[in-house]
């Protein structure tokens, strides 16, 4: 079964450093998303991406965040200057259609720890 692949699985970074989280969505999917989950809290929407541009973003997704699809396969989330409160699991997801009978497919996540 096709999967969404995220790397790295765990990233530790110092406060103020830039991080890039990487995702390879399912190849025929057209819609891409980033979500985050702070430990013990709910899964929160960050941003959706379609046709090479952001289609929607949440209040969390401020100027410190950016997304990019640099080639036909990768989808990245960059945090420019990390803060302690950015520590969370970050999930990438993709979907074939809007909406889809198949729902969204999520990756296994990247656990980001800011120290």
The C-alpha atoms of residue 40 and residue 14 are separated, in whole angstroms, by 22
Residue 70: CB minimum distance to another protein, A: 22
Distant-in-sequence, close-in-space partners of 49: CB < 8 Å, separation ≥ 6: 31, 32, 33, 55, 67, 69, 75
Nearer to another protein, 1 or 14 (CB): 1
CB closer to another protein out of 74 and 96: 96
- When the beta carbons of 8 and 16 are compared against another protein, the nearer one is 8
Q: At closest approach, how far in Å is the CB of 81 from another protein?
A: 26
Q: Which residue has the tokens 């450093």?
A: 17
Q: Which is nearer to another protein, 14 or 40 (CB)?
A: 40
Contact residues for another protein (CB under 8 A)? 4, 31, 33, 41-45, 48, 50, 55-56, 89, 91, 93, 95, 98-109, 111
Cβ at position 72, least distance to another protein in Å: 20
The closest alpha carbon to 99, from 30, 25, 47, 14, belongs to 30
Least spacing, CB of residue 18 vs another protein, in Å: 24
Tokens encoding 11: 């990233």
- 87: how many CB neighbours lie within 10 A of its CB? 18
């Amino acid at each position: 079964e096709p999967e969404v692949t995220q790397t790295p699985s765990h990233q530790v970074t110092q406060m103020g450093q830039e991080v890039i989280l990487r995702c390879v969505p399912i190849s025929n999917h057209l819609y891409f998303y980033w979500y985050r989950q702070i430990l013990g809290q709910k899964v929160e929407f960050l941003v959706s991406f379609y046709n090479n541009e952001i289609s929607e973003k949440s209040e969390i997704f401020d100027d410190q965040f950016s997304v990019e699809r640099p080639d036909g396969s990768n989808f990245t989330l960059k945090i420019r200057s990390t803060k302690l409160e950015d520590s969370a699991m970050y999930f990438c997801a993709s979907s074939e259609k809007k909406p889809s009978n198949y729902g969204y497919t999520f990756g296994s996540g990247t656990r980001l720890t800011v120290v």
